[in-house]
Structure 1
Amino acid sequence: MANEESFAEAQRRSDAMWKSLGEDGGAHTLLSGDRPTGRLHLGHYFGTVRERVRLQEMGVNTNILIADYQVITDRDTTAHITEYAYDMILDYLAVGIDPERATIFCHSAVPALNQLMLPFLSLVSESELLRNPTVKAEQEASGHALTGLLLTYPVHQACDILFCKADCVPVGKDQLPHIELTRNIARRFNERYGKVFPMPVGLLSDTPLLPGLDGRKMSKSYGNSIAISMTAEETAKLIRKSKTDSERTITFDPENRPGVSALITTASVMTGRDPEEIADSIGDAGAGALKRYVTEVVDDYMAPIRERRAAFAAQPALVREILHEGNRRANEVADETLAQVREAMGMVY
């Protein structure tokens, strides 16, 4: 019951924030981001990336983090990290993030952000860190030892959110414990040293979770995801190879027909059509017809995104300059916030 009550409260806060954003987006600050561990896929896009574009268009002060330091929470290498980071920027630009209105930056390029870890770690207990469900899930998924960085990365995420005084963060339901910990850190700092930080709110959306093409969670490691950067040919091949079943009549049944239902969900999210309606329209035409329909839907949706991405990819110097400028702006903000933290703590010498 306690979890139900806490989710209900998180939903109430989210609804109130969406209302406030609609009234005056410019009064709010957003932080969102991704780890550069591979190519962004449609799960990322429909989960949070599209929301960032929507919020940017509402006038919200938008900050987008390439969380390069968080790559080493559960990995022993940073191979390809530069490639993945620039690939990610191309995806952001292609889907509509405007570097004139949004700050795109990297962890490792903003020292003052990371320095907030020291005072913030003093505001959380060992038990709070150990019971974070996402940390446990990521450790189990990676098979990696529980490093100090993995254990404390929810605190690092609090640094990400609070360095720019973000008050709204697009999240899924499973990420709400991170927002709650960040709120605790902000409240405890303000009570102990004086008010510096806002109380951030997790922004929940009504977009359904987009499964991978096999019905499992969409994941780069499963090979079941359509990357934003894929060509039409690569996408068609992936959809064509996706596993369905031997039953000819198409029905929407996620539990018993995960592959078929995942394809239907992909088409539903992209067209706004009801999944049952899509299934009925395919009917006895079989999985081949469904795959052709999904390929057509994805191609129609992704065509303008692919066109913009190709245009930016042809200008690598511009993409590097966008990141350099984003890092510069993020450093200005982080330095100011750290100065306020040091002053509040009486550590100005």
Structure 2
Amino acid sequence: MGRVTTTDTASDPGISASSYDTARRRSDQIWQQIAQDPSGLRMLTGDRPTGALHIGHYFGSLQNRVRLQEAGVETWLIIADYQVITDREVLGDIKGSVRELLTDYLAVGIDPERATIFTHSAVPALNQLMLPFLSLVTQPELERNPTVKAELAAAGKSAMGGLMLTYPVHQAADILFCHGNLVPVGKDQLPHIEQTRVVARRFNERYAGGEQIFAEPDALLSEAPTILGLDGSRKMSKSLGNTVMLRMSADETVTKIKKAKTDSERRITFDPEARPEVANLLMIAGLSTGRAPEEIAEEIGDKGAGTLKMLTAEALNEHLAPIRARRAEIERDPDRLWEILRAGNARAGEVAEQTLAQVREAMGMSY
């Protein structure tokens, strides 16, 4: 597989302004490369299976994954079931969550004939890469990772478990096992990509004598705006119940949007700083229709929040109607879902075994 040429950055996983600017410029170059010739690009991304997905996931990342798939970028999607236990003591219905996640992937347009969809737990060789990779990082480096700190705070825990501490290295294994060289992320996830670059670089230097066993992956920064929770929270969260799920009916969506938080001003304007909740609904309506939120706000004028909510619900329902129709069709054949996952797991397992063999050979452990 062809590899993307990467720019070198400092080994500390913290992201400075200059590092972000470097990642931004590189991301812009990659978008141009995708438009011209996507061959040699292999994207790895995915989700933790904590239930069905919502419109924050859809507008924030799922649409972009389908866009990349359609552009010809080789697509690998990990259902990160092992990562559920990084911050949870009770798993819940993990198999049901995997099923819901897979259903949503297919409904939005992920094509299992062109994408490899697999689970952590079904690919032992991937997880075995954690051992040599952990030898390449220090405890202070892991503790400094801002994303790990944020995950710990979000989980409401004071003590960090071993799996949480090594979370960035597990993500490095996810990306590098399949020689992924492209990872769609938001700015807050850049530290994980930088940690993966560090692992790849150090492995090549320490164990492979400078040979490039692993390419240093690039971040493909998302342009998608963050969708706030309907209660005004920083983001949509299934645990807070402030979401519109992809699987919801049209009536359920209307009910949810009607309860969305706005403000007391009657005239509708698009002002994300001063009126974030109103701007959020305008953004959802805009993303659903392809129109500018400012244009929608001008159209509504002084008709108030009630009109805004109804317009948003109608636009969102119209946009999601074909996705929901496909979802209903997919749900009628659950056996097909597991067949797709087994095929993806088998392919991921083969690739992981090949990569592990490369690693053992480089480390002088091929017996």
The TM-score normalised by the length of structure 2 is 0.92
Name the CA distance, whole Å, in 2 between partners of 1:7 and 1:187: 19
How far off its partner does 1:193 sit? 1.8
130-139 or 240-249, larger mean C-alpha shift: 240-249
The answer for the alignment partner of 2:90 in structure 1 is 77
Verify the 8 A CA contact 1:254 1:262 in the aligned structure 2. yes
- Tell me the residue number matched to 1:244: 262
Cα deviations by residue, 1:169-200 (Å, 9 ceiling, x for unpaired): 10001001100000010011011122211110
**Once the 2 structures are TM-superposed, how far is the Cα of residue 341 of structure 1 from its aligned partner?**
0.5
Question: 1:312 deviation in Å?
Answer: 0.6
Question: Structure 1: which 5+ runs fail to align?
Answer: none
- Cross-structure match for 1:203: 220
Q: Is the 8 A contact 1:215 1:254 kept in 2?
A: no
Match of 2:72 in 1: 59
Residue number among 144, 147, 150 corresponding to 1:137 in the alignment: 150
Moved more, 263-272 or 108-117: 263-272
Aligned to 2:4: none
- The aligned amino acid for 1:149 is L
CA contact (8 A) 1:25 1:55 kept: no
| Superposed counterparts of 1:173-184, under 5 Å | 173-184=187-198
Does the Cα contact within 8 Å between 1:212 and 1:224 map onto a contact in 2? yes
Letter in 1 for 2:195: L
Which consecutive unaligned segments of at least 5 residues does structure 2 have?
1-14
**Structure 1 contact 114–156 (Cα < 8 Å) conserved:** yes
> Residue 280 of structure 1 aligns with which residue?
298
Separation (CA, whole Å) in 1 of partners of 2:29 and 2:283: 29
2:28 is the counterpart of 1:15? yes
> Cα distance, 1:72 vs. partner?
0.4
Most deviating of 210-219 and 158-167: 210-219
Q: For residue 292 of structure 1, what is the aligned residue in structure 2? A: 310
Instruction: Tell me the SS of whatever aligns to 2:160.
Output: coil
Cα distance in 2 for residues equivalent to 1:295 and 1:99: 31
| 1:38 is aligned to 2:38 | no
Aligned residue pair count: 348
Counterpart of 2:328 in 1: which secondary structure? helix
Q: Which runs of 4+ in 1 moved over 6 A?
A: none
Check whether the contact 1:90–1:319 (CA below 8 A) recurs between aligned residues. Answer: yes
Identify the residue that residue 164 of structure 1 maps to in structure 2: 178
Partner letter of residue 174 of structure 1? D
1:48-76: CA deviation from partner (whole Å, max 9, x where unpaired): 21111111112221110000000000000
Q: Secondary structure at the match of 2:117?
A: strand
Contact 2:228 2:277 survives alignment (8 Å): no
* Conserved? CA contact 1:236–1:295, under 8 Å: yes
Query: Residue 118 of structure 2 aligns to a residue in which SS?
Result: strand
Which of 119, 140, 145 lines up with 1:127 in the alignment? Answer: 140
Aligned to 2:5: none
Alignment partners' CA distance in 2, 1:9 and 1:235: 40
TM-score, normalised to structure 1's length? Answer: 0.97
Q: Which residue pairs with 1:152 in the alignment? A: 166
Letter in structure 2 aligned against 1:190: N
Instruction: Name the aligned partner's letter for residue 272 of structure 2.
Output: P
- The whole-number CA distance in structure 2 between the counterparts of 1:245 and 1:206 is 27
The 2-side partners of 1:259 and 1:61 are apart by 37
- Which secondary structure state, in structure 2, belongs to the residue aligned with residue 103 of structure 1? strand
CA distance in 1, matches of 2:344, 2:56: 25
Which deviations, in whole Å up to 9, do the C-alpha atoms of 1:125-166 show, x marking residues without a partner?
Answer: 111101111111111111133111011101100000000000
Counterpart in the other structure of 2:231 = 214
User: Between the two proteins, what is the percent identity of the paired residues?
Assistant: 61
1:36–1:66 contact (8 Å) kept in structure 2: yes
Structure-2 change in CA distance of 1:215 and 1:265 (3 Å): farther
Q: Secondary structure at the match of 2:21?
A: helix
Quick one: distance in 2 between partners of 1:23 and 1:338? Answer: 33
- For 1:25, what is the secondary structure of its paired residue? coil
How far did residue 262 of structure 1 move?
1.4
Return the letter of the residue paired with 1:207.
A
- Offset of 1:35 from its aligned partner? 0.3
- Identify which range, 230-239 or 90-99, moves more after superposition: 230-239
Q: CA shift at 1:37, angstroms?
A: 1.1
- Residue aligned with 1:27, SS: coil
The answer as to whether partners of 1:106 and 1:327 remain within 8 angstroms in 2 is yes
TM-aligned CA deviation for residue 14 of structure 1:
1.0
For 1:271 and 1:114, the matched residues in 2 are separated by 42
Matches within 5 A, 1:301-312: 301-312=319-330
